[in-house]
Chains A and B, each alone.
Chain A
């Protein structure tokens, strides 16, 4: 009974969670430092210096960060609005059931479907042509592979909005936010103020961890920008996978540098939010 079944199971769990990550991390780190790899010739910091000297890498980092920020903000705001509308409705209205639909979309399928809805030769464009709103293909506004990442944002919202809406609605009910809203209104708050000062903050505070987790998901978004994104700037995951399979073999270590950087960031952010909460709670 030195080990015991319990300890074996727990050890197995910890190993499954951490060992592969550690192994991957060590390999990529080694590669980025010139230790592993067919084309590498021993320890060097060159690759890291090259990464941080490249505009490409920085624009990818900044772009991914902004995309994450805007995506999660849009999701929160829309979910907030929808929860405000749904909170007084019966549990499972048709609209609410319909909102479950995106949960059955793989990111690949969602990206694909929206591409053909939004692209200049897509369904909306054809409808607007049929209605005489646009004359030809070029007069339709560009929403895929576009400057503002409209397509990507839309798909992000599409995929995540349902979950947030359901959670927000359930939480608003159990926190009796509607009553508080009435109270605030009677104290002279406008509808907008009620929403921005009371409704959203209450929900955001309650789901802080979940919001962070989804932000981390958005940081790692891959298929959607692969289908709907521009060639530059690219999100981190696309940057990494492109560098790793680039024409230039010299660029492979850069991909590993970025992979190390990305996973270290995720690790730090997660550890901060997961374990800080614990220590303040106890």
Chain B
């Protein structure tokens, strides 16, 4: 028994380690970019990112990875992990008092950014000192601000998109433009609509929440409990009165966006959605969606946001990560990414800041076929509300809809 007590003590001792929370310092200033490129050579870095889209994966694995290897001699290792997994694995490292992280680079935005900042897991500010940062359209409220939080250089914008709903024009002749119309439509076409219990689904819910809160900019600013309660009560009521007409009678919701896309592709659903306004084109090009698929933004609008690259505060290869991120925001990599056949992700660069030659290239990106032009939908763009809204929606969606 005595031995056992020692054992427990031992375990406790090793568990009570301290976690360093010192703000990481940025010493990039003391190095020229050439020196930094040299220092980054031969490094291996790990990027944790959402793996849910084959085209994005292909862009990373068969374009970015070989390019950074060839240009900078950096080995980019990509591991899967969504926002929440990123937070939990970095948090465990901090709790364990680690001095270096397994993950150097993370693909994040919104509430993940917010949480990582909360636990001081992000390195920065670094973004504005990257050579290619001068081309970034920092002035745009959809780029320089992430879920109402100023980015402040702790993450670097990588792409900018607006959410669209996607429908099959053979099954839906005129897509519902308001929530009332959507209600009528699902009653007339039971089982053909759903939203995912995931990031994209929540992004749609945010647009609905804003609509119930009065539309437009009504949820801008810090999180407001009263506003949330009022709007969300209406939101849950709307969903719960209609969910019997949702897919699988609203008893379950697709876990992954990929699953919802598959249901749409197979004709089980008439609607799917995407955070990326041009995804419909690349999915048709892949042969996954039928030719009759179309994307649109309803009258109540849709969230436009950016996604970012961050550097973990415990990364041992911050210099190399900066080199890779700088490459990701180079006109070349951004242009490639914008091609709907490659990914179709909107650029974060202000094209007017680029040389004429590049400006032309950006203007000649293969056009959208079934997706609306960005200029058309930009008028309906909604700002991301504060991250707490997203977190509360996630929690309450489970409580009030899935279990309700």
Contacts and interface: CB of A to CB of B under 8 A. Distances in A.
Interface in B230-270: 248, 251-253, 255, 262-263, 266-268
A136 interface: yes
B266 A137 contact: yes
B399 to A, nearest CB: 7
A10 to B, nearest CB: 14
A138 B270 CA distance: 12
A247 B268 contact: no
Contact of A232 (B15, B118, B262, B398): B398
Contact of A142 (B248, B399, B402): B248
Given A145-B252, A147-B251, A249-B87, A38 B394 contact: no
B15 A231 contact: no
A51 to B, nearest CB: 14
B11 A248 contact: no
Contacts of B350: none
A56 B403 CA distance: 7
B339 interface: no
Interface stretch (B88-96, B137-145, B317-325): B88-96
Nearest to B247: A138
Contact of B11 (A22, A37, A39, A232): A22
Looking at chain A's contact residues, the main secondary structure is loop
Contacts of B111: 247
Interface residues of A, number: 33
Contact of B394 (A23, A37, A120, A248): A248
B253 A231 contact: yes
B16 interface: yes
Contact of B7 (A19, A37, A56, A230): A19
B390 interface: yes
B197 interface: yes
B395 A248 contact: yes
B84 A247 contact: yes
B159 interface: no
A49 interface: no
B115 interface: yes
A39 B95 CA distance: 10
Contact of A249 (B15, B91, B255, B267): B91
B81 to A, nearest CB: 9
Contacts of A244: 88
A232 B403 contact: yes
Contacts of A38: 19, 91, 94-95, 119
Nearest to A122: B266
A181 interface: no
Given A247-B83, A249-B87, A26 B266 contact: no
Contacts of A23: 11, 15
Contacts of B248: 142, 145-146
Contact of B84 (A138, A232, A246): A246
A230 B263 CA distance: 15
A61 B274 CA distance: 35
Contacts of B84: 245-247
Given A147-B251, A252-B88, A121 B12 contact: no
Contact of A247 (B255, B266, B391): B391
A93 B381 CA distance: 67
Contacts, number: 86
Contact of B255 (A138, A146, A231): A231
A26 B11 contact: yes
Contacts of A55: 399, 403
Interface string A3-35: 000000000000000010011001100100000
A186 to B, nearest CB: 52
A145 B251 CA distance: 9
Contacts of A96: none
B203 to A, nearest CB: 13
A136 B267 CA distance: 9
A232 B91 CA distance: 27
A239 B329 CA distance: 39
A36 B15 contact: yes
B356 interface: no
A244 B87 CA distance: 10
Nearest to A138: B191
Contacts of B379: none
Interface string B351-385: 00000000000000000000000000000000000
A59 interface: yes
Interface in A105-121: 120-121
A59 to B, nearest CB: 7
Contacts of B118: 249
Interface of B: 7-8, 11-12, 15-16, 19, 83-85, 87-88, 91, 94-95, 111, 115, 118-119, 191, 197, 248, 251-253, 255, 262-263, 266-268, 390-391, 394-395, 398-399, 402-403
7 contacts: A22-B8, A230-B251, A231-B197, A247-B84, A247-B115, A249-B87, A252-B91
The 3 closest A-B pairs by CB, nearest first: A121-B266, A230-B252, A232-B402
Interface of A: 19, 22-23, 26-27, 30, 36-39, 55-56, 59, 120-121, 136-138, 142, 145-147, 230-233, 244-249, 252
Given A30-B15, A231-B253, 18 more contacts: A22-B11, A30-B12, A36-B16, A38-B91, A38-B94, A38-B119, A39-B119, A56-B399, A121-B263, A145-B252, A231-B252, A247-B83, A247-B84, A247-B395, A248-B394, A248-B395, A249-B115, A252-B88
